Amino acid sequence: MFEPGYIALYQSGELERRAETLEAQLGSCDICPRECGVNRLEGERGFCHSTYLPVVSAVCAHYGEEPVISGSRGAGAVFFGNCNMRCVYCQNYQISQGWARQQSKEMDSHTLTEGMLYSMDSHTLTEGMLYSMDFHTLAERLLYLQDELGCHNINFVSPSHFVPQLVRAVVEAVPMGLRLPLVYNTSGYDSIKSLRQLDGIINIYLPDLRYASDKWARKFSQAPDYVKHARAAIQEMYRQVGDLVLDEAGLAQRGLIVRHLILPNGLAGSQDSLTWLVSQVSPTVTVSIMSQYFPAHRASRISSLSRTISPSEYSEVVKLVDRLGLENGWLQEMGASENYLPDFTRQGHPFDSTVGNLR
Ligand code: SF4
């Protein structure tokens, strides 16, 4: 029977030590590559506008991830609020960029009633669903995803600015019975120092590789050094977990899956990024090529990003994948752009659960 590595780390006391090390970093925050140096323990806010309490914007079974992650019962998604990037086309902008609203919702478990929490996880969310939780409450939500919804994994979405909180929640959840694989679902703008603390804790890394040019990373995501940091992060992730390993049911147990979202007008630098992956990570790396780009958030007002990708842009990347010999992964079909748009104010579930998986 699968036993994730974080169980042994918990039993040896190492998981607690990792949590303490990461929490100490919050006193002069360098949890992500921005290294703001603010004291989040004292309520100061850096670029991500996040203090000590985790901001958890939605907890649900999510069926729109890659098939080895979503399976038949869904990925146990924990959507963190706020972000350490500012992508003008962010599909989750309601929770990633609406920091002022989220700050006003910061609270600990003592100010959330059980009824409110139960309502949230029963998919009966109403507008204004953005809640913060303390670690114990978050730990309880992980168990809810595992035991009541029967999800295949815990899928931490946009965790880069909440790494200490994530680890602390796992410390609390292990004695409560947590046994699922942990997925780190990230934009890729992660610090090596923080990732090293996750070695042996995270089972599946699911990073984006968004840009091959810092010019576009600066302009469209306010991340001027994205390429260097994302590439180093992906190499570290691969060092930790290696190639994708599936169980007998075809579900991911361990490994790296790199997502590459095709942007219009070649802005994602697909040729550079995929060539780099093959030569500097591994020709056997698993990739998920995504065609779902939609000009969400502010992108409709930016001419180079104001449309979905064209059939020729898509087929160029498909040919590139073939030319590079990338054999492991998924190619999302054209026409997926609107199917994958979440609405975090929708009553019920942020994603339309009738939408299928990637093939
Ligand atoms: S997580 Fe990153 S963006 Fe947020 S305060 Fe720390 S260094 Fe700054």
**Contact (CB, 8 A) for 49 and 32:** no
Report the alpha-carbon distance of residue 183 to residue 200 in Å, rounded.
12
pLDDT of residue 137: 85
pLDDT of residue 57: 87
Report the alpha-carbon distance of residue 339 to residue 256 in Å, rounded.
25
pLDDT of residue 106: 55
Residue minimizing CA distance to atom 1 of ligand 1: 161
34 Cα nearest atom in ligand 1: 7
* Secondary structure, 3-state, 213-244: CHHHHHHHHCCCCHHHHHHHHHHHHHHHHCCC
**Contact (CB, 8 A) for 203 and 240:** no
Q: Is 36 in the pocket of ligand 1 (CB under 6 A)?
A: yes
Q: Each residue's pLDDT tens digit in the chain (359 positions)?
A: 789 999 999 999 999 999 999 999 999 999 999 999 999 999 999 999 999 989 988 899 999 999 999 999 999 999 999 999 999 999 989 889 877 777 655 545 433 433 333 333 333 333 333 344 458 889 999 999 999 999 999 999 999 999 999 999 999 999 999 999 999 999 999 999 999 999 999 999 999 999 999 999 999 999 999 999 999 999 999 999 999 999 999 999 999 999 999 999 999 999 999 999 999 999 999 999 999 999 999 999 999 999 999 999 999 999 999 999 999 999 999 876 666 667 766 655 676 543 333 22
Q: Which of 26, 32, 192 to mutate to test the pocket of ligand 1 (most atoms within 8 A of CB)?
A: 32
pLDDT of residue 121: 37
Q: Is 49 in the pocket of ligand 1 (CB under 6 A)?
A: no
CA-derived radius of gyration, the chain:
19
35 Cα nearest atom in ligand 1: 7
Positive or negative, the CA dihedral 105, 106, 107, 109 is positive
Q: Is 44 in the pocket of ligand 1 (CB under 6 A)?
A: no
Residue minimizing CA distance to atom 4 of ligand 1: 48
Q: Which of 35, 41, 45, 48 to mutate to test the pocket of ligand 1 (most atoms within 8 A of CB)?
A: 48
**Contact (CB, 8 A) for 307 and 323:** no
Distance 166 CA to ligand 1 centre (A): 15
